[in-house]
Amino acid sequence: MWQELHAELEAEGLTVVTVALDFDPEQSRTWIDQAAPTHPSLVDSEHRLDELLGITNVPMAVWIDEAGTIVRPAESATIRTSALRSMPLDDFPENIKNVLTEAQKIPDHSDEYRAAILDWAAHGSESRFSLSPDVVVARSQPRPMEHAKAAAAFALGTHLFTTVGKDAAMPWWRQAHELHPENWTYKRQAWTLESTPEGQPYDLLQEVGDTYGTSWYEDVVALGGGGSYGVEPRL
């Protein structure tokens, strides 16, 4: 998907850079091999983009112009409507049906967002989607002390995960989630370690585990349901 967009816009002066927020690059590799990207395809195993750019979920994107100035801050970024959205759910077991029902409520701006990227590629700073520095800063994610502390707790957990092990990391990841529940990159990443056997592809259902005591579904509902999930692009 991103590779196609890159190929389409490369000659116009736009480069796509994808960054996988994965502890284990091997989990990213399968997807990367399949996409066969000709653009830079990077791995951020420490989730540094959360702290540096205000990434709080995936997929999210940031636009950077030729001079290295951010012209759109981190926001939800999809360019193709997922087939999941129109899938009939009646035949699924209750738990999967619940998850997919909320997932189908997540606002979809794929067509408008893709059109906005094309407009920016063609018109640069003249594009109405290219924002001034003041607006970029003002629209970037808020960072009260709790969110900054969540970033520190997640970093400490990730450090302990690699140096000591999962049990040392979990209390810190749990704290990161409690301090900043809207940052899904903390919990969704840590969850995978709970329900996925070592060496297997990630279990994506994210049901109740020992670490958090709640499932993805319960957390989404607690935060207002799929309709308020993520950072909607203001186009």
Partner 1 sequence: MILTSLNVSPAEFAEGTGWESKPEGMCKGDACVPAPEAVTDDGQVSVREAADRLRLPLVSDEAHGVHALGPESGGRALSSAVAPDIELPDVDGNPFRLSLLHGRKVLLVAWASW
Q: Would you tell me how many other CB atoms lie within 10 Å of the CB of residue 200? A: 9
Q: Is 82 in the site for partner 1 (CB under 8 A)?
A: no
Number of residues counted as binding partner 1 (CB under 8 A): 87
Alpha-carbon distances of 48 from 13, 23, 213, 226, rounded to whole Å: 26, 11, 26, 26
Question: Could you tell me the smallest distance in angstroms from the CB atom of residue 47 to partner 1?
Answer: 9
The 134-153 site mask, x for binding partner 1 (CB under 8 A), equals x-xxx-xxxxxx-xxxxxxx
The nearest distance, CB 214 to partner 1, in angstroms, is 16
28 near partner 1 (CB under 8 A): yes
Exactly one of 80, 89, 102, 159 binds partner 1 (CB under 8 A); that residue is 159
Eight-state DSSP code of residue 41: E
* Minimum gap (Å) between residue 104 Cβ and partner 1: 20
CA distance 83 to 100: 11
Q: Using alpha carbons, select from 183, 188, 6 the residue that is nearest to residue 79.
A: 6
Among 96, 115, 155, 221, binds partner 1 (CB under 8 A): 155
User: Toward partner 1, which CB reaches closer, 6 or 226?
Assistant: 6
Q: Is 67 in the site for partner 1 (CB under 8 A)?
A: yes
Q: Check residue 13 for interaction with partner 1 (CB under 8 A).
A: yes
Nearer to partner 1 (CB atom), residue 138 or residue 235: 138
In angstroms, give the least distance from the CB of 96 to partner 1: 17
Return the number of other C-beta atoms located less than 10 Å from residue 218's C-beta.
14
215 touching partner 1, by CB under 8 A: no
70 binds partner 1 (CB under 8 A): yes
Residue 76 CA to residue 107 CA, distance in Å, equals 10
Which distant-in-sequence residues (6+ apart) come within 8 Å of 9 by Cβ? 16, 117, 118, 121
Query: In angstroms, rounded to a whole number, what is the distance separating the alpha carbons of residues 148 and 155?
Result: 11
* 165 near partner 1, judged by CB under 8 A: no
Question: Left (φ > 0), alpha (ψ -120 to 50) or beta: where does 200 sit?
Answer: beta
DSSP state, residue 168? H
Judged by CB under 8 A, the residue of 89, 96, 110, 124 near partner 1 is 124
When the beta carbons of 91 and 163 are compared against partner 1, the nearer one is 163
Q: State the amino acid at position 187 in one-letter form.
A: K
Q: Compute the least distance from the CB of residue 84 to partner 1, in Å.
A: 16
Judged by CB under 8 A, does residue 51 bind partner 1? yes
